[in-house]
Amino acid sequence: MDTETTNASAVPAAAGLPDEAQVLEALKIVKDPEIPVNVVDLGLIYGVDVQEGGLVDITMTLTSVGCPVQDLIRADAEMAVGRLDGVTDVNVEFVWTPPWGPDKMTEDGKRQMRMFGFNV
């Protein structure tokens, strides 16, 4: 993940809210239906901001601008993070800059892709 674009708040743990690591862990159940890897290991999550009051803002991208499952991925991300204790609302914003590329994937994500026959 690009730490330059991550905006994790220092408040969450003290306020009984999830921290960035917990949000990212929750997001690991969200997969792009066209690619058998979760959105975190694909490198699609660009930022997480947990605010006082329980609002979680997620900045992410997709593997392509015309992704036909954008609404499904948004709904899955909102549902996954919304289940965390203290979360009152989830806002997912898709951005296209910087563009996604395989270089953004975690090593685990690359390993998973190779297991499914993708060359990364």
- Whether the model clears a pTM of 0.75, i.e. scores above it, the answer is yes
> Do 49 and 7 meet the contact criterion of CB atoms below 8 Å apart?
yes
Tens-place pLDDT, residues 34-57: 888 999 999 999 999 999 999 999
Mean pLDDT across 1-29:
72
State the Cα–Cα distance between residues 120 and 26, nearest whole angstrom.
Answer: 25
Answer positive or negative: Cα dihedral of 117, 95, 55, 70.
negative
Q: Which domains does the chain have, with CATH numbers?
A: 3-108 (3.30.300.130)
- pLDDT the model gives residue 120: 84
